[in-house]
Amino acid sequence: MDGLNHEITEYMSLFAEEEEIISKAEDILESAKQQQNILAPHFDKLLRSYKKLFGQTKRIVKMADNLQRDLNTATDKLSVLCKIDQLTGIANRRCFEDTYNVQWKRSVRNRTQLALIVIDIDYFKQYNDTYGHSKGDICLQKVAQAIQQTLKRPDDFLARYGGEEFVVVLPTTDENGALLIAESIRDSIEALSIPHRMSKVSNHLTISMGVCVMTASLVDYKDVHFQRADEALYQAKNEGRNRVIMWKDASE
């Protein structure tokens, strides 16, 4: 795209020279007419043909410029759409993987702590079976919005990982800070008071969370980080759901 833009710019820079050539040609033609030069009519015909061709060239270049602009706009929109979960409006799994990778490398470079929270809606299948998938979709949207509103810092990141599972990435966050945010998220979902009569935990919707905080040392350990958060989530479910478990507790 940059190459095409460069070519269009070069074409546009030629226009000034071409306009000057046409102007000089018109002056010569006018002089030839005044001198009743027998070649003047032929020169006039050639000049009119050249001016017509030049006008067409300018229109083609303008069309190419407009098409390039439209293509750039469409590409930018597509790039954004590829990273957004269309149901909830938050980042999707692909965007999470890209962001997580960047933050992990930053943690490696700066020797800072990185917190990861894996979130699962308790008994969501039963919720869908009871209230229908359209209500389930609305539920996911409300949960995503509530979690997003809980995150205050610009670098705090939320994504829908898949189904009823969400992930939160918290750069430069220690275990106490991660637990505080996780509990705030859990409280925000309970505060929604979304009825869930088939839940075995409560009469309203709840979530379970697994948390892992690591200071990255090797790039390859990123998968270990996620696995530990997932293991903590598994323990939260085993211990009755509607709770937050830090990975160090899960390993004991």
pLDDT above 70 covers what percent of the chain? 83
Q: Record the pTM.
A: 0.70
Helix (H) / strand (E) element for 216: namely none
pLDDT at res. 7? 52
* Cα(7)–Cα(2) distance, integer angstroms: 9
User: Architecture of 93-250 per CATH?
Assistant: 2-Layer Sandwich (3.30)
Residue 198 has pLDDT above 80, yes or no: yes
DSSP 78-147: HHHHTTB-TTTSSB-HHHHHHHHHHHHHHHHHHT-EEEEEEEEETTHHHHHHHH-HHHHHHHHHHHHHHH
Instruction: Taking residues 121-137, report their average pLDDT.
Output: 96
Residue 252 scores a pLDDT above 50: no
Query: 224 or 28, which is more confident?
Result: 224
Task: Report yes or no: 209 and 184 within 8 Å, Cβ to Cβ.
Answer: no
Kindly list the distances between the CA atom of residue 78 and the CA atoms of 95, 96, 157, in Å, as whole numbers in the listed order: 13, 17, 21
17 or 6, greater pLDDT: 17
Give residue-wise pLDDT tens across range 63-89.
777 777 766 665 555 555 468 999 999
d(CA 7, CA 1): 10
Catalytically active residues, by annotation: 164
What is the residue extent of each domain of the chain? 2-81, 93-250
Residues 41-62 pLDDT 10s: 767 777 677 778 777 777 777 7
Q: Which two tokens stand for residue 84?
A: 């957004």
